[in-house]
Chains A and B, each alone.
Chain A
C-alpha cells in the first residue's frame, strides 16, 4: 500500500495488490497541511504537518483518529524508526522530538538537542542509534540515546563566502553503512561519511533543487526527485567486475512530471514519484521484473478513482463536487439531429445554476443530486447538509433543510433512489442510513441497514435499483451486501472477490447487480436468484480480452439503457464502452477497439467481426458518463490543460531548438 498526501491535506491510499486502486481517500482540511507521512507499527499511518500536530489516520473510518501536539511549531518532517516503534519529528524551532507509538496514538518521549534552523528532513539509521537531520546549510547527526549532536556537516563549506547562497537540505537518508545521503537546493546529491563528516561523493543532478530522495530496502538504489520534474536513479555498482569496491552511479533519468517532484518512494520493483503537477507516477524497474508486459508498464494517476459528478437524469442537471464547493449546472440542449461525427449547434447553452460553498475548513467527502433535481446533499467530515432546490422557470432557489437527523458522520457516499423519495447515506461500520425525503423540505430517518456479520470498514459505494426494492453497498473490505428496501432487511452477500470494487449498479429491468473490480473483471450477480448470472459465468470461463484487462484506470461508473436491456454502459478515464451481452466475447486474437475497423467493412463481414465491446476513446480524460434518456448521453471531460493552467509555471528550461 502506498499513502500519499496532497497539498490540501488530503491523504490517499493506493493498494498495489488491487491493481494500484485508490482504495482510501481522506478529504483534506484547510488547517491541516501534511508535510510528512509514515507507516509505523504495522499498518498504522501517521502524518504531521505545518499545523504542528502529529496525527494518526483512521483508515477504516477515513478520518483523523487522534492527534498530538508536537510543541515545536510547524512540523516539517517526520520519520519512523525501522522497527516502527518510534517517530521522530523535525520542527520549525530546530528541535527533533521523539514520540513513541502506543496502541492509542503517540506519546511524547523526549526531545533531542535543539539548535538553530528548522529541521526539514530526518532519517533514522537502520539500527535506530542515530538520526540524521537536514536543515538549512547543514546536516546534523544525533545520537538517539544521549540526544546530543554528534556530527555537524556544513553542506556548502567549500563555496566562497561572497558567493554563498542559502543551501537547503531538502532530503536526507541514513544508510546502514554509515553513509548519509543528502539532496539539496543546489541540485546536488551528496554522500557523506557521518563519523568523519567528510564528503564521499557528490553528484549534481539538476540545475534546480533536488527535493526528494528515497532509498530502496536493499540500499543499492536511490531515487531522487528534482524541481525540474525529473527523477533520477542512483545505483550502487561495483567499479570493476568481481571487486568489492562499489560506487554510487547516477543511472537513469526519468522525466514524467512537468513540475516539482515533491515526493518519491522506492518500492522493491518500482520508483514512485509525485509532484506539483498532481500526478502520481509509478515507474517499474525493468531489471527487477520477471517478464516484460503489463506488470512492467508505467502507471500515471492524475484523476481520483471515484465519482465526483452526479447527474439528475430527469431534470437534466449535473452536480460537480469540488474540494470546497459544489456546482450545479443545467445541461444545454439541441433540437437538431445529425450524422455520426457531427457537432450539433446548441440551442440552449449549459447554464451554471448554483454554486454551493461548504462552510468551515473541512473538505467535502461526497455529494449527490436527486434524479428529479430537487434535492442536493453533501457531507463533510463533521456535518451533513441537505438542500431543497426549487425551480422557478429558468431560475432556481435553494433552501437548506434544517432538521436533518443526527447521524453518525461522516457520510462516505450519498445516493438517491430513482423516485427521489429516499436518500441513502453510506456510513462507517458497514452501515447505510435510509432517509425519507419529505416535501416541501424535510427529511426523516427511516432505518439503518447493517451487515449481519458486522465490519469495521466504511461503505464507499452504493447502488439502488430502479424499482426501489434493492440496495447494494460495498464496504472497504470489498464485501458487497444487498439489502431489501421493502423489508429493510439484509438480502444476501455477493461472494467476496479478492479485489477492490470500483463501480456498482443494479440493472433497472432484470435487477442484476453489475460489479466492476479494480483488476478490470466484470461480474453480473442476480439479486433475486442470489447467484451469478449465466452470462457472468461465461465471462469468467472465457476470460476477458487481454487489452481490456491491461487498461490502467478502473471503471468508475456503470449505467444501463432501459430500452436495450442487454447493454451495459461503462467508462473509465480514457474510454467509454457499451457492453452488449447479446454479442459474443472477443478472444485475444481479435482487436478490442474495432469500431473504426468495422466501419470500413461491408455489412456481411461486419456481422462476423462484431463482439460485445464497443469502445469509444474520443473523450479523454473522461470523468463521468451517464445515460439521460434512451438517445441522449452526457459525458464530462476534464481537459488536462485546464488543470495545468491552474498550476504555477514550471521551472523554465531551455529546450534545444526552440
Chain B
C-alpha cells in the first residue's frame, strides 16, 4: 500500500491497482506528517495542524488512539530506537516563524483519547518544513537545515555541531539548503541546495575536519532527496521532473528517469526497497520500480499554472476538460477522481526555463455529441501574436481525438470566445464553429468536403462567414439551443444573427457596461437570452418581443446554463466572497441562492450531467437533479455543489453543510506541499477493498454498518434502534424543508412585486431573508443529527476499547 496525507485525510492506495483502498479521516485540520509505527508495521501515526497525533490501524481503517499534544504539529518523525516517543516540529511559543523539534512521549495507557504533554525540546530554530529535518542511522543523530546552516545533534553524546555555508558563493550559486536526508547505514548526510547541488557530508562529528563532496546535476532547486534502503543509492528530484539516482555517492554514475511530467515534490522509498514513489506539483503520485522503470501513476486533477480554457464537459465521457500539463488537455473523471487521459494539443516539447514564452492552450470547445473538438493555442511575444486553431475529430478506432484541420492565425488578435452549433442527434445540419476575436470580427467555420482526391482526409474546415458590428471587439458568442440563432456580443451590444442566412436579426444593449457573458435559455426558456455586463447587471431579453424581460443588479462573474434543464447558474462576486444564484430565465426570482460560497474568486463553472438523475432530494435542490455543478476558483480549487449528502454530516470535520470539497487532495496538499508518503510492504488484499461510492444515498447508520468490519460490530439488536432512528431523522428533515419552502414562497411573492417595480436594490436585500431562515433550519437539523451520530460513534468505540 501507499499512504499519502491529503488535506484532512490520509489516503491509502493500492500499489498494484492504483485504487484508493481506504480513506482515514478524523483529523480536524491539515495532516502534516504520517509515519509507520516502527514497532508495528500495520499501524500508522499521523500528525495534524489540529494538534493531535493519531494512531491508525490502516488495513482496517480504524483509529486506535488519539494523542492530544496541544500545539500545531508541522512534521512528524518516528524512530525504531525510541519506543515510547515520536518527534514533531512545533512552533515555538511566543515567537513567530520560529520552530523547534521536540520529542513527544506517548504514554501506553489504555484509552481512546489521551494527552501527550510530555515534550522535550531537542533542537531549536529548525525549519518548519518536514523535508528540512532528518534522523540519521539508527537514530543516533538528527540533522536539520535552515537557510545556509546545517546542525547535527548527537543523541548519545549530547553534542551539537553546526556547519554553515556562505550565503552566496562566488559563482552566483545559491547555497541555501532545501532538503536533507540521512544515510540509513553510514554516517553520511545528503543535503539539497537552491542551486541544484547536492552535498554529501561526512566526518561531521568533528567540528573542523568535516568534509563534503558535491554532486551537481540539477540546474534548479533540489526539491527532495531520499536514500535507498541500503543506502547504496541516492535519489533526487527537482523542477526538471527527472528522478536522478546517484550510485555510491559518485558524480559520474547516475541514472535518470526523465519526463515524469512535472516538478518532483517528494520522494519516498518503500521499506522493502522494491519501489520508489514521487509526488509531483501537478497533483500526481508516480510509483517507480527500483530499477528506475516507471510503474504506475496516481493522477488527481492536474494543477496547471493557469487554467485558461475554463471548465468544459466532454459530452462523450462526461469528463471535465481543462488545461493539464503545459500544452495538454486533461480529461478528468469526476466520479473516480482520476485522470482519464491527457491529449497533447500543442505537440511541442515543453522546455523548462523561466521567461520563455510557450505556446499555451487558451480555448476549448466540443461539438454537441463530442465528435469534434476545437482548440485554440497562442503564444504572445512582445510584438506579435501566434495563434492556432485546431480542429480534432474523434476517432472511434483509437478512441481518441485526431487532428483534422489546423488554421494558422484564424484571427488577427486574441480569440475571445468559441462555440459549436449544437445540432441534434440526426446531424442533418453540418457542424459549425464560431470564433469571436478581438480583431472586431467573428468567423463561422464549416466542414467542407475535400475535392482533392489526393488529400488524406475527406473533410476539413474552412471559413464560411465573417461578421462584424460597428468595428467593436467581439467578446462572446453563443448559439441558441436549436442552433438557428447566434448571439455575438460586441462590447456593449449583443447581436443576434440567423445562423443560416447570416442576417442580423436584432440587437440588445444595456448600457452602461460591456457584455461579460451571454447565453441562451434552454428547453422551455429558449426564447430568452441572458446577458451579464461588467457593470453589475444581469439582463434577460425576450427574443420574441425583442424586449428586456427583466434585469437584476448582480456582479456576475460566471454565467453557466445547465444543458439538461432550464436553470442557469450565475456566480457573483461581492467584495469578499462569491455567491451562487440559480434561476430560470422565465422567472426573475432565483431558484437557489448560496451566499459565501467561498472566499476566492470563482473563475469557471460547469454543469456535469449525472449518469442517473437524482431521485431523492428536496425541492430546494431540484435544479441539481440532472446535473451537478462544479466551480473552479482562482486558486485552482475545484468545488462542487452537492445536494444534502449524508456522509457530510457524518464526519465531524466538515463543518460546511452543502459545499463539499470533492477534491481535497488538489488544493491543500499542493498549496502547502505537505505530502508524506509511506508504503507498507503488504500485498494487496483485494477482499478488503472498500468500494468508494460517491453516490451512496444510504442513511448514515446503514453506511456506518457497512463500513465497519463485521467482527467489530456490536450485536444486531443493539444496532437496530439506531438504524430505525436514522430513518426517522430523514423524515423529520423533509418536513423541516417543507417549512422552509413555505417561507421561501412568501418571500418570492414579495420579490415578484418588487421586481415589477424594478427596484433592484430592494430585491437584493430581500434575498437575504429566506436565505437566513434556510440556514437556521438546516443548522438545527445537522446538529440534531450530528448528536445522534456521535452517540453511535461513542458507543461503537467504547465497546472496542473495552475489548
Contact = CB atoms under 8 A, between A and B. Distances in A.
A238 B251 contact: no
B219 A253 contact: no
Interface in A238-285: 238-241, 249-253
Contact of B252 (A207, A235, A237, A656): A207
A204 B203 contact: no
A287 B186 contact: no
Contacts of B251: 204-205, 250, 253
B259 interface: no
Interface string A182-224: 0000010000000000000001111100000000000000000
Contacts of B484: none
A240 B137 contact: yes
B120 interface: no
B211 A287 contact: yes
Contact of A204 (B154, B212, B253): B253
Contact of A238 (B203, B252, B253): B203
B708 interface: no
B202 interface: yes
A287 B187 CA distance: 19
Interface in B201-218: 202-203, 205, 208-214
B250 interface: yes
A205 B250 CA distance: 8
B211 A251 contact: yes
Interface in B173-206: 185-187, 200, 202-203, 205
Given A239-B186, A251-B202, A203 B137 contact: no
A602 interface: no
A187, A206, A239 interface centre (most CB from chain B within 10 Å) = A239
A252 B200 CA distance: 10
A252 B219 contact: no
Interface residues of A, number: 20
A253 B203 contact: no
B230 interface: no
A656 B200 CA distance: 22
Contact of B187 (A204, A241, A252, A253): A241
B209 to A, nearest CB: 5
Nearest to B196: A656
Contacts of A287: 208-211
B521 interface: no
Contacts of A204: 250-253
A657 interface: yes
B249 interface: yes
A240 B205 CA distance: 10
B140 interface: yes
A60 B496 CA distance: 106
Contacts of B214: 252-253
A461 to B, nearest CB: 37
B602 to A, nearest CB: 41
Contacts of A250: 213, 249-251
A205 B252 contact: yes
A454 B748 CA distance: 124
A253 B140 CA distance: 29
Contacts of A203: 248, 250
Interface string B732-755: 000000000000000000000000
A253 B216 CA distance: 11
Interface residues of B, number: 24
Contacts of A239: 185-187
A230 to B, nearest CB: 10
A656 B202 contact: no
B252 A249 contact: no
B193 to A, nearest CB: 15
A239 B209 CA distance: 15
Contacts of A237: 202-203, 211
Contacts of A205: 251-252
Contact of A252 (B209, B213, B250): B213
A95 to B, nearest CB: 35
A367 to B, nearest CB: 40
B208 A241 contact: no
Contacts of A240: 137, 186-187
B185, B203, B205 interface centre (most CB from chain A within 10 Å) = B203
A60 B233 CA distance: 56
B116 to A, nearest CB: 31
A444 B249 CA distance: 71
Contacts of A238: 187, 203
A249 B213 contact: yes
Interface string A225-237: 0000000000101
Interface in B238-262: 248-253
A251 B212 contact: yes
Contact of B140 (A206, A241, A657): A241
A250 B250 CA distance: 8
Nearest to A289: B208
Interface string A635-658: 000000000000000000000110
Given A237-B202, A240-B187, A252 B212 contact: yes
A190 B219 CA distance: 30
A231 to B, nearest CB: 13
A657 B196 CA distance: 14
Contacts of B208: 287
Contacts of B187: 238-241
Interface in B136-180: 137, 140, 154
Nearest to B156: A241
B169 to A, nearest CB: 13
Contacts of B249: 249-250
B219 A657 contact: yes
Contact of A206 (B137, B200, B219, B252): B252
A241 B205 contact: yes
A569 to B, nearest CB: 33
A203 B200 CA distance: 15
Contact of B213 (A206, A251, A656): A251
Contacts of B203: 235, 237-238
A657 B202 CA distance: 31
Given A241-B140, A241-B205, A253 B252 contact: no
Interface in A287-328: 287
A205 B208 CA distance: 25
A237 B202 CA distance: 8
A226 to B, nearest CB: 11
Nearest to B154: A241
A182 to B, nearest CB: 17
B252 A187 contact: yes
Contacts of A207: 252
A242 to B, nearest CB: 9
Nearest to B210: A287
Contacts of B248: 203
Nearest to B212: A251
A301 to B, nearest CB: 21
A235 B202 CA distance: 10
Contacts of A251: 202, 211-213
A205 B213 CA distance: 12
Interface string B214-237: 100001000000000000000000
A186 B250 CA distance: 15
Interface of B: 137, 140, 154, 185-187, 200, 202-203, 205, 208-214, 219, 248-253
15 contacts: A204-B250, A204-B252, A204-B253, A205-B251, A235-B211, A237-B202, A239-B185, A240-B137, A241-B140, A241-B154, A241-B205, A251-B212, A251-B213, A253-B214, A287-B208
Interface of A: 187, 203-207, 235, 237-241, 249-253, 287, 656-657
Given A204-B252, A241-B140, A250-B251, 11 more contacts: A237-B202, A238-B203, A240-B187, A241-B187, A241-B205, A249-B200, A249-B202, A249-B249, A250-B250, A251-B213, A287-B208
The list of the 10 closest CB pairs from A to B, nearest first, reads: A204-B252, A251-B211, A251-B213, A287-B209, A239-B186, A237-B203, A237-B202, A241-B205, A250-B213, A240-B187
